[in-house]
Amino acid sequence: MAALAHSRFNIVVPLRHGRNLAYNSMSHATAVWDRAESDVFDRVGRGEDIDDAEATVTDLLYGGFIVRHGFDELALLRQRYDATRKDPSRMVLTIAPTLMCNFGCDYCFQGACKPAGTMSADVQDAIVDLVTRATPSLKRLHVAWYGGEPLLAPAVIDSLSERLIALCDAKSVAYDATIVTNGYKLTLGVARALAARRVTGAQITLDGARNEHDRRRFRLGGGGSFDRILANLKAAIDDVPLTISIRINIDSRNAASVYALLDELARQGFARRKNFGVYFAPVEAITEGCHNVADDCMSKSAYGRLETELTRYAFDAGLSSLPYPPRFRGVCGALRPKGFVVLPNGDVHKCWDTVASPDQKVGTIFDVDALAADKRALRWVQWSPFDNATCTSCKILPNCAGSCAHKFLNPDQTLGEAGALPCPSWKYNINERLLLTAERSGAITADDYQSEQVRTNSAAICSVSPLLVGQAAFDR
């Protein structure tokens, strides 16, 4: 007999006939319990002593759904989180060859006024020097090309890529890169050049069917962009080893148009391809540059419901994979000791959402030694979701890991609900996502549950009021 307890990280979704769909965010285990397994789980919850040699108990222990009394799951999770986040062998550089852009999107976090010019040779030299100095302890370098629109400065990408690749190869450091681009200049030739420089993935935004997209993402010189972007994608998709990830930014203005976009992508032949997929993201007023769209942003719960429907629609159309929960989603380059954003003028930031705020830079590429000691950099390095009671009481902390440190550290920059609730959409639709994954994987059927009774209750996911999250709990 053994004293057992429920894991603090369980999501249990009731099914018909006494069964349950269970997910543990710590172990990443998913299971469909029959009535007998559900009964054992309930008995553990009531504090009964149970024979831990029983097969059902062994299975529940193996899946992490129950733990031995006194086991500190949170301490183990923090150990794993720190090991991932503070890995000294990994460097993440976000490099902006230019902050200029050829689009005029009204929700752009940079705002309408963007600096002109491209990255100078001396800044490029300093970036190479930074990596050179780090190589003795490096095993992997990841570069994210960013902007502005990075493809307005292709020569910088070409020359700097070649120098970094040569350096990494000589020092046995693994190198890979991605690019965030609006796709307008991603011609077949450009796509081939990027792939040759080890760019493996491109994130491109489409915000609805043609008319809606062109209304939101228009060229500065006038005219739409949808047809040109789609033509570029069709030219490259079969020819270039580049994974295309379509980001669909959603607010109240374009929500209804997203279904038509998915239909169009399927008609154009993008469905069921290994190197193509879509995902959805809420428009949020996270910087002063995009405060003008605050009234158009959807609430967390409304967006969560819509995302559930769109995810199902996109998967059935062959445009996305099943929504398996992420691991440590909030561990971005901003939180890594060797994670930096380098601007064309040499300014260094920790987060790419702050690049339009010079007062938030953490130093300059020309004085690398000072970066680690800068008090603004220390705010990012010292921040942790484990220092906030809301996060540590949340069942999806292993998935979320705080989601977005920028919203915690700069709550005054974010308007609307996203500032007070910097939680991801998973907190508002994880039940529905788990059900979709189980159903489409064949573990359950649509007849096994009643939609109205299994909807995600965000208050049940987190036992501490989420309003605490948006407060300045991390000021030191």
Give the model confidence (pLDDT) of 62-115 as tens digits.
999 999 989 999 999 999 999 999 999 999 999 999 999 999 888 887 766 678
Coil, helix or strand for 116?
A: coil
**H/E stretch holding 145:** strand 140-145
Would you kindly state where each structural domain of the chain is located, as residue ranges?
Answer: 1-71, 82-316
Beta bridge partners of 199: 177
Provide the pLDDT for residue 221. Answer: 85
Q: Looking at the predicted structure, is the pLDDT value of residue 292 above 90?
A: no
Beta bridge partners of 203: 180, 245
What per-residue string of b and e applies to 126-143 under the rule 16 or more CB within 10 Å gives b? bbeebbeebbeebeebbb
pLDDT confidence of 143, banded at 50, 70, 90?
very high
Q: Looking at the predicted structure, is the pLDDT value of residue 430 above 70?
A: yes
For 160-186, what is the mean pLDDT? 98
CA distance linking residue 154 with residue 98, whole number of Å:
10
Q: Looking at the predicted structure, is the pLDDT value of residue 7 above 60?
A: yes
Query: What is the amino acid identity at position 40?
Result: V
Q: What percent of the chain has pLDDT over 70?
A: 95
Residue 426 to residues 186, 298, 359, 399: CA-CA distances in angstroms? 32, 15, 32, 9
Sort 442 into a burial class: Cβ within 10 Å, 0-12 / 13-18 / 19+: exposed
Lowest average pLDDT, out of 20-29, 246-255, 402-411, goes to 402-411
pLDDT confidence of 442, banded at 50, 70, 90?
very high
The model carries a pTM of 0.92
Provide the pLDDT for residue 448. Answer: 96
Q: Looking at the predicted structure, is the pLDDT value of residue 332 above 70?
A: yes
For 265-280, what is the mean pLDDT? 97
Whether omega before 224 lies within 30 degrees of 0, making that bond cis, reads: no
Q: Looking at the predicted structure, is the pLDDT value of residue 14 above 50?
A: yes
Pairing of strands 347-349, 140-145: unpaired
Q: What percent of the chain has pLDDT over 90?
A: 81
Provide the pLDDT for residue 111. Answer: 62
Quick check: 151 and 181 in contact, CB under 8 A?
Answer: yes
Provide the pLDDT for residue 473. Answer: 36
Provide the pLDDT for residue 469. Answer: 43
In this structure, CATH architecture of domain 82-316: Alpha-Beta Barrel (3.20)
For 402-429, what is the mean pLDDT? 84
Give the model confidence (pLDDT) of 456-472 as tens digits.
999 999 977 654 444 33
The DSSP symbol for 444 reads S
pLDDT confidence of 116, banded at 50, 70, 90?
confident
Tokens 């005054």, residue located: 412
pLDDT confidence of 54, banded at 50, 70, 90?
confident
